[in-house]
Amino acid sequence: MMQNHKYDYLIVGSGLFGATFAHEMTKAGKTCFVIDKRDHLGGNIYCKEIEGINVHWYGAHIFHTNDKYLWDYVNQFAEFNRYTNSPIANYKGELYNLPFNMNTFYKLWGTKTPKEAKEKIAKQVEHLNIENPKNLEEQALKLVGTDIYEKLIKYYTEKQWGKKATDLPAFIIKRLPVRFTYDNNYFNDKYQGIPIGGYNKIINGLLDGIEVKLNTDFFENRSYYQNIARKIVFTGKIDRYFDNCFGELDYRSLTYEVEVHDTENYQGNAVMNFTDAETPYTRIYEHKHFEFGTQQKTVITREYPVKNTKNAEPYYPVNDERNNSILKKYQNLAAEEENTIFGGRLAEYKYYDMHQVIASALTKAKYELRK
């Protein structure tokens, strides 16, 4: 017997994946209902206004993409400013430009030409004979040599992930450009910026006219929510969806310490990375600089990496061999769930940036509409 469902789609999670999917389906005439266990929309791109400043509540978010279609897509909902991310690394009080570029090399070694810098790196690693890097440490050494690895990568990485760099996959460090030009832009993409007025504008635009319910955990009333719609779009943890039947996937978590300072400018830059082992936090964000703010006060956030305990937010998937093999088993189960679509950083268990999450949601929505 056909069941009469109230909605076409129940969307679990109002982050970028859920909101984009809901937007596309609503545009195509489907009915959507979005629930989120948090008390606000937007998942990890949510901004909270403090002292007239948009505070990136779950860590700094800089939108960047090479894809003109995705850039135009987000620009429908907000105008973007010209912010270019250029973090500063602070190693025991010594400051270096990031990503690794001619400014970094000059400060470290006094090298002035790309040739000199390349020779310096090659000399540092020639005796290591790294052909195919097997882990993050080998990959980093091959790319930038021992000095940069020691001062700017090793300890930051080990704090961030709570593991030895030799136990981490190489791809993580390949996110960062290594450039032989004097260019401090953290990203290589053609398009980059911060939505003027904050990320909430994007989420509110995507979810405009769509029914949403906050403070609502899918698992607290699963049997009810399972039957409320023809299909479910699930953007929470994939292991939890299947009752952790193959074991729990590892996630890396973070905690945040937010402070208001009665000064106009605290650190002179939006992002400062602390790359030594002793400082317990990895980054300090000064949020006003994302939007060139001129407020009298400033708001900073210290970001501390922490173990993913039961109540901690699962921010980063840990795509090492163990977790990827557990993930495969969950993906096999997911493929059999005809009425559930899994999407986003937690349900796909991928280290996705925002543009990749939107691309994934658009692809899955298109596929769904074609069926």
Cα dist. 269→85, 102, 103, 285, 286 in Å?
9, 19, 16, 8, 7
**Residue 139 binds what, of ligand UDP, ligand FAD, none (CB under 5 to 8 Å, by partner type)?**
none
248 binds ligand FAD (CB under 6 A): no
Distance (Å, whole) CA 153 – CA 158: 8
Which residue is associated with the tokens 């899994």?
342
From the number of C-beta atoms within 10 Å of its C-beta (0-12, 13-18, 19+), residue 13 rates as buried
Distance (Å, rounded) from C-alpha 145 to C-alpha 306?
A: 28
Name the segment binding ligand FAD (CB under 6 A); options: 73-81, 200-208, 261-269, 343-351.
343-351
346: contact with ligand FAD by CB under 6 A: yes
342 binds ligand FAD (CB under 6 A): no
Residue type, 206: L
Residue 89 interacting with ligand UDP (CB under 6 A): yes
By CB under 6 A, what part of segment 162-191 binds ligand UDP? 172-173, 175-176
Among 9, 10, 11, 12, binds ligand FAD (CB under 6 A): 12
Structure tokens at 97: 């430009």
62 binds ligand UDP (CB under 6 A): no
Q: Whole-angstrom Cα distance, residue 57 to residue 52?
A: 14
C-alpha dihedral sign at 38, 48, 292, 103: negative
- Distance CA(286)–CA(281), nearest Å, equals 14
Using CB under 6 A as the binding rule, the residues of this chain from 204 to 263 that contact ligand UDP are none
Q: Which is nearer to ligand FAD, 35 or 108 (CB)?
A: 35
Considering only residues 17 through 46, tell me which ones interact with ligand FAD, judged by CB under 6 A. 17-18, 35-38, 43-45
* Backbone angles phi and psi of 326, in degrees to 5: -65, -40
Among ligand UDP, ligand FAD, none, what does residue 173 contact (CB within 5–8 Å per kind)? ligand UDP
- Taking CB under 6 A as the binding criterion, the range among 11-19, 148-156, 206-214, 288-296 that sits at the site for ligand UDP is 148-156
Q: Torsion angle, CA of 182/196/293/45, rounded to 10 degrees?
A: -80
Q: How far is the CB of 124 from ligand FAD (least distance, A)?
A: 30
Catalytic residues: 175, 179, 252, 283, 303, 351, 353
To the nearest 10°, report the CA torsion of 142, 144, 146, 150: -120
Quick one: 35 or 344, whose CB is closer to ligand UDP? 344
Strands of 235-292 (E only): list them.
251-261, 271-274, 283-286
DSSP assignment string, 67-120: -HHHHHHHHTT--B-------EEEETTEEEESSBSHHHHHHHH---SHHHHHHH
CB of 344 to ligand UDP, least distance (A): 15
Q: Does 12 bind ligand UDP (CB under 6 A)?
A: no
What is d(CA 352, CA 345) in angstroms, rounded to the nearest whole number?
A: 6
172 binds, among ligand UDP, ligand FAD, none (CB under 5 to 8 A by kind): ligand UDP
Question: Does 218 engage in binding with ligand FAD (CB under 6 A)?
Answer: yes
Total number of residues binding ligand UDP (CB under 6 A)? 13
Query: Residue 251 touches which of ligand FAD, ligand UDP, none (CB < 5 to 8 A by kind)?
Result: none
Q: Which residues bind ligand FAD (CB under 6 A)?
A: 12-18, 35-38, 43-45, 58-63, 217-219, 235-236, 254, 315, 344-346, 352-355, 357
Q: Which residues bind ligand UDP (CB under 6 A)?
A: 89, 98, 152-153, 156-157, 160, 172-173, 175-176, 273, 275
